[in-house]
Amino acid sequence: MTLRRQARHSLQGLTGLLGHSNRRVRRKKPGQAPGTLLHTGQQQLDQMLMTVHDYDTERCQSLAIDQIDASAPYLGSSTKTWIQVRGLHDVERLQQVMDYFELHPLIQEDILSISQRPKVEPYGEVIFVVLRMIRAEPAADGRPKLKSEQVSLVLGSNYVLTFQESDDTLFDPVIRRLGMKNTRMRRHSVDYLAYALLDNLVDHYFSALDLVSETLEQLEEQVLEQPRPEDLQSIHALRRDLVYFRKSVWSLRDGINSLIRDDSPLITSDVKLYLRDVYDHLVQVIDSIENQREILFSLYDIYMSSLSSRMNEVMKLLTIIATIFIPLTFVAGIYGMNFNPEISIWNMPELNWMLGYPFALGLMASIAGGMLLYFRRRGWL
C-alpha cells in the first residue's frame, strides 16, 4: 500500500520521472577542431577509477590501476582484457588512456560529450559504441525515478574499453559472471564480452519501461475515475519522458542492426546471434514506448472530454434550478406589485380573493411541476 502511495506521489508536480538535469549540457564553442576535449557533463566522482579485468578460459583477475601503462602486460599477453573507466571529469588523465589506445580524435570527443545520440561506428581497427543507460532506481526520497547516464564502449581485437560517468554498479552482474569458470563468456573472444555489456544495458531499459508503465497505469486509473488538473501536468511530463526515452533508444537499434549486417572481423557470426537478441529486445522497448505514447494520447482525450462532461453536469444543474425558479420568482414578483386594488376591480383583484394566496402557490406548483416533467422527458433528471 505504501509503495502504491509513493508511486502515486511521483505523479504530482511537474518533474516527471527524469530530472531536468539531463537536458542541460555544456556546449563546445562552434568552430573548434575535432578532438578538442571538453567534458560537457557534471563531475560525478572524486577521481577517475580504472579497473582491469583480465581473463581467458583458465583464469580471471580484476585489479584497480592508477596509470594506464599498468595495463600493458595484460594487453600484450594472449588473454582477453576489459578496461573499465569510471568518471569523465578529469580530462587530462582520460586523454592519457585514450591516447594509449590511439583512439581517433572523434571517438575521444564523443566519449566526453555526454549528450550523444546512441550510435555504433566502425573506425577501422576498432568499433565504437556510445549509448545511454536508463534504469529505474529509488531516488533520495524513496520514490522510484529514472536515472540516465552515458556509457561508451570501444571494442578492439583483444580488448574492450568502457567509459561511464559515475561509479554506477551497472556492470557488476557481468563482472560476477566473468568470475565463473566454464562459461560462454570465458570461452568466447572479447566480442562476446561486448555483447554481454550491451545486453546488460538493454535489460535495464525494461526496468525503466516497467516504471513508466506502472506510472501510466496509475495515471490512467486516476484520470478515468476523477481527473484533476495536476494529472494534465503528469500527462505532459510523461510525454516528455517518453520523447526522451525514445530518442535514447531509437538509433541504438539501427546501430546494433548494422553490426549484425556488416562484416566486421571483430564480430564473430556466433556472437551475431546474440546481438540479434539484443536487437530484438530494443525493438520490443521501442514498440512499448510507442504504445505507451498512444495510450497517453488517449488519456489526454479522456481528460479533455471529462472536463467537458463535468461542465455539462454543472450547466445542467444551473439550468434546472434557474429555469424552475425564475418563472416562480416572476409570479411572486407579480403579486408583490403595489397596484391599488381599491381603485378598480381590474387592479390585482387576486389579492383580495379568499383563496388568492393558495391560488398563487398552486400556480407556482404547476409551473414547477411542468418544468420537472419537461426535464424528466429530456432525461435530465
Interface positions with Mg ion (CB under 5 A): 290, 294, 297
Q: φ, ψ for residue 88 (rounded to 5)?
A: -115, 5
Q: Helix or strand or coil: residue 159?
A: strand
Report, in Å, the least distance between residue 319 CB and its own copies.
4
Segment interacting with its own copies (CB under 8 A) among 41-49, 64-72, 259-267, 278-286: 278-286
CA 177/CA 183 separation, integer angstroms:
8
- Least Å distance, CB 320 to its own copies, is 9
Our finding on whether 70 is near its own copies (CB under 8 A) is no
Closer to its own copies by CB, 66 or 217: give it: 217
**Which among Mg ion, its own copies, none contacts residue 262 (Cβ within 5 to 8 A by kind)?**
none
* Cell numbers 579485468: residue: 53
For the four alpha carbons of 120, 121, 127 and 132, in that order, the dihedral sign comes to negative
Write out the DSSP string of 196-258.
HHHHHHHHHHHHHHHHHHHHHHHHHHHHHH---HHHHHHHHHHHHHHHHHHHHHHHHHHHHHH
In the complex, what is the shortest distance from the CB of residue 39 to Mg ion, in angstroms, rounded to a whole number?
Answer: 30
Q: Which is nearer to its own copies, 93 or 95 (CB)?
A: 95
Torsion-angle region of 348 (φ positive above 0: left; ψ -120 to 50: alpha; else: beta)? left
Nearest distance from C-beta of residue 300 to Mg ion, angstroms: 7
**40 lines the binding site for its own copies (CB under 8 A):** no
Nearer to its own copies, 312 or 366 (CB): 312
Segment near its own copies (CB under 8 A), from 1-9, 73-81, 150-158, 241-249?
241-249
299 binds, among its own copies, Mg ion, none (CB under 5 to 8 A by kind): its own copies
> Is residue 143 involved in binding its own copies (CB under 8 A)?
no
Phi, psi values for residue 151, rounded to 5°: -125, 135
CB of 220 closer than 8 Å to CB of 235: no
Q: Which of 8, 89, 143, 276 binds its own copies (CB under 8 A)?
A: 276
SS3 365: helix
Given its own copies, Mg ion, none, residue 284, with its beta carbon under 5 to 8 Å by kind, binds its own copies
Comparison of 8 and 240: residue with beta carbon closer to Mg ion: 240
Residue list 188-217, contact with its own copies (CB under 8 A): 196, 199-200, 203-204, 206-207, 210, 213
Minimum CB separation of residue 378 from its own copies in Å reads: 9
> Count of CB atoms within 10 A of residue 359's CB?
13
Closer residue to its own copies in complex, CB, 70/321: 321
Cα–Cα distance between 22 and 10 in angstroms, integer? 18
What the block records as the C-alpha cell of 18 is: 527524469
Q: Which of 46, 66, 167, 172 binds its own copies (CB under 8 A)?
A: 172
Contact between 321 and its own copies by CB under 8 A: the answer reads: yes
Which one of residues 45, 91, 351, 363 is an interface residue with its own copies (CB under 8 A)? 351
Q: Which does 133 bind (CB under 5 to 8 A by kind): its own copies, Mg ion, none?
A: none
Give the CA angle between residues 364, 367, 370 to the nearest 5°: 150
Report 88-107 residues binding its own copies (CB under 8 A): 104, 106
* Helical residues (DSSP H) of the chain, grouped into ranges: 2-9, 72-76, 91-100, 105-112, 172-178, 184-187, 190-225, 229-261, 269-334, 356-377
Residue 32 binding target from its own copies, Mg ion, none, CB below 5 to 8 Å by type: its own copies
Least Å from the CB of residue 339 to its own copies: 4
